[in-house]
Amino acid sequence: MTLPSQNSGQDVGAPGASLLWQDGALTGKLVVGNWKMNGLAQDAKLLVQALLAKGAKTAEDGQLGHHGQGQILNGVRMAICPPFTLLSQVRDWLAGGAIALGAQDCHAEPAGAFTGNISAAMLADAGCQLCILGHSERRQAGETSVQIAAKLAAAHHNRLLPILCIGETLAQRQAGETLAVLADQLTNSLPFTLTGGNPPLVIAYEPVWAIGTGLTATLDQIAEVHQFLRQQTVGLGHVPLLYGGSVKASNAAEIMALGDVDGVLVGGASLNAEEFWQIALAAKVALAGGGLSTAAA
């Protein structure tokens, strides 16, 4: 399968895909909400409306940057990934705004007899611009890196920006295997070699032991891993690196101030509009505070 080049962001098929990247590059900080298996229509609508109201208020205050270019705040991009059932409705609620729509998984095949699955083409058709892939909650349920690589290729093919999740378990960290595990997941979850191709791609480092536990990796642990991932992906051009695992308003700014952290993938805290919005504001603070990542061209 031929992967799109870094310039693919210019002619993406999915509506509004330029919310996330221009000229193949994603700049500034990226704040992504992963709703997981949460959300019924009524509550979801209130959540989205509350987020949009906060964005509108920011616009009135003159803080909003290039709204039309997908920055909810100057230098900050936001996306939410609801469950499949809500994608079309959330797309309509978000229409015309600066928050992008994403999905939490896709199937590798374009169509066919795969009961219960959703293809990347369907996600693009539903208005998605990105797709989380390889989340540890799926890896723990048996998903392999090889399967994830096939999904990633399908996402690319349909102009969805993939957020590839990798992370070690507590046992692996305690055994000193963290970097080896991450290198293995990274190498085997990409449908191309790390020295070839130059596709738009985001990687999220999500230590399994920090997800949904309230335990956040220390700044030193995050910095070490992100530096390692930066080196590992150097052959791909600039790959934005997110951190995920119990990110909340109170720790988001210091995490995003780290030089190699280009944003965050947020689970539980993205279900609360105020908390999620505070995380977006923290991204802006991190940018302004000199923690400008190399992604902010």
Residue 245 engages ligand PGA in binding (rule: CB under 6 A): yes
Residue 222 engages ligand PGA in binding (rule: CB under 6 A): no
Residues in contact with ligand PGA, shown as a per-residue x/- string from 52 to 91 under the rule CB under 6 A: ----------------------------------------
Residue 39 engages ligand PGA in binding (rule: CB under 6 A): no
Measured torsion, CA atoms of residues 74, 285, 267, 275, in degrees rounded to the nearest 10: -100
Tokens (6 digits) for 73: 């705040």
Binding-residue total with ligand PGA (CB under 6 A): 13
- Among 79-87, 113-121, 142-150, 243-251, the segment contacting ligand PGA (CB under 6 A): 243-251
Residues in contact with ligand PGA, shown as a per-residue x/- string from 169 to 208 under the rule CB under 6 A: -------------------------------------x--
Q: Are 80 and 273 in contact (CB under 8 A)?
A: no
Q: Are 103 and 85 in contact (CB under 8 A)?
A: no
- SS3 at position 101: strand
| Nearest position to ligand PGA, beta carbon | 267
User: Is residue 206 annotated as part of the catalytic site, yes or no?
Assistant: yes
Annotated catalytic residue within 107, 135, 156, 226: 135
Residue 199's φ and ψ, nearest 5 degrees, are -85, 155
- SS3 at position 79: strand
- SS3 at position 62: coil
Residue 102 engages ligand PGA in binding (rule: CB under 6 A): no
User: Is residue 224 annotated as part of the catalytic site, yes or no?
Assistant: no
Other Cβ atoms closer than 10 A to 11: 10
Give the Cα separation of 27 and 71 in Å (integer): 10
Q: Would you name the residues annotated as active-site residues?
A: 135, 206
Query: Residue numbers of the site for ligand PGA (CB under 6 A)?
Result: 34, 206, 211-212, 244-247, 265-269
